[in-house]
């Protein structure tokens, strides 16, 4: 029993936790995008889907589980960042820059900042849609919450659309590096497997960012005008 806490508190254990929680959130975003894309099918389809989701008795434990995973990911990621900075003096950083090729990229160097921006964006998003105005709609004879109307109203504001579009691009950049980095932390094997996972991560991150980027713009130019 003594080895488990020591592993989880170690640098390797911390990176493993960041990787596992990050991949879990990555998978959730794919499912979340699939559900949100139903907005393109019109208010009835979207509201029926939303009602089935929020009326599910498992939704509360699922949301609490997602919150726990998200907070654990943020906490452990900050720990890793602070530990890495403490172990890498500035003199070493200057030497590394002067000494040739580096595997660092803009995405990897700004992970903590894109992660913090993602945190702010998630808070704003949840607050606006989960706790926003409550409208009712009647679909197939049943009264459901009109989340379609709420979404169209929110994205009728060009500043809201600009904020969401910019934020999801930042989230995409975070996912772009995070997917591959997670598998690196878990041990991906040879370079060929690593490169393949990197390409998969890039494709999925681009898909998620593009999907969440298009929805508010579509709502502003098409949905809210219909």
pLDDT at residue 49 greater than cutoff 90: yes
| Helices and strands in the chain, H and E counts | 10, 2
What pLDDT is stored for residue 44 in this prediction?
A: 93
Is residue 33 classed exposed, middle or buried when 0-12, 13-18 and 19+ CB atoms within 10 A define those classes? middle
Residue 93 has pLDDT above 80, yes or no: no
Residue 112 token pair: 């903590």
Q: Per CATH, which fold does 3-88+106-225 belong to?
A: 3 helical TM bundles of succinate and fumarate reductases (1.20.1300)
Which 3 state secondary structure label does DSSP give 146?
A: coil
Tokens of 65: 């589980």
How far, rounded to the nearest angstrom, does the alpha carbon of residue 70 sit from its chain's CA centroid?
Answer: 9
Could you tell me the residue ranges of all domains in the chain? Answer: 3-88+106-225
Is the pLDDT at 101 greater than 60? The verdict is no
CA dihedral angle for residue 14, residue 18, residue 19, residue 20, rounded to 10 degrees: 100
- Mean pLDDT for 205-212 is 94
Instruction: Determine what percent of the chain is predicted with pLDDT higher than 90.
Output: 44
Q: For residue 64, is pLDDT > 50?
A: yes
Q: Pick the closest to residue 21 from 8, 36, 10 (CA basis).
A: 8
- At residue 80 the predicted structure's pLDDT band, cuts being 50, 70 and 90, is confident
pLDDT at res. 160: 94
> What is the pLDDT, as a whole number, of residue 108?
61
What is the residue-averaged pLDDT of the chain? 83
Listed ranges 30-39, 126-135, 198-207; the one with the highest mean pLDDT:
30-39
112 with 85: CB under 8 angstroms? no
Q: Please report the pLDDT score of residue 225 as a whole number.
A: 62
- Between 2 and 68, the more confident residue is 68
On the question of pLDDT at 5 being above 60, the answer is no
Token pair for 94: 């200057």
On whether the CB atoms of residues 182 and 23 are closer than 8 A, the answer is: yes
């Amino acid at each position: 029993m003594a080895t488990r806490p020591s592993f989880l508190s170690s640098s390797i254990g911390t990176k493993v936790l960041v990787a596992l929680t990050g991949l879990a959130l990555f998978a959730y975003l794919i499912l979340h995008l699939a559900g949100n894309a139903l907005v393109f099918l019109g208010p009835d389809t979207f509201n029926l889907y939303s009602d089935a989701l929020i009326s599910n008795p498992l939704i509360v434990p699922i949301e609490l589980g997602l919150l726990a995973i998200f907070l654990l990911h943020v906490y452990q990621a900050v720990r890793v960042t602070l530990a890495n900075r403490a172990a890498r003096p500035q003199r070493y950083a200057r030497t590394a820059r002067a000494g040739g090729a580096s595997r660092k990229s803009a995405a990897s160097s700004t992970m903590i900042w894109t992660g913090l921006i993602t945190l702010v964006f998630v808070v704003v998003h949840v607050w606006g849609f989960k706790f926003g105005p409550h409208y009712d709609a009647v679909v197939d004879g049943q009264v459901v919450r009109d989340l379609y109307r709420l979404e169209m109203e929110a994205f009728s504001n060009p500043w809201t659309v600009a904020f969401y579009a910019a934020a999801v691009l930042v989230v995409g950049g975070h996912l772009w590096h995070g997917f591959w980095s997670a598998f690196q932390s878990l041990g991906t094997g040879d370079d060929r497997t690593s490169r393949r996972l990197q390409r998969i991560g890039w494709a999925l991150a681009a898909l998620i960012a593009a999907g969440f980027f298009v929805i508010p713009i579509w709502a502003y130019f098409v949905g809210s005008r219909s």
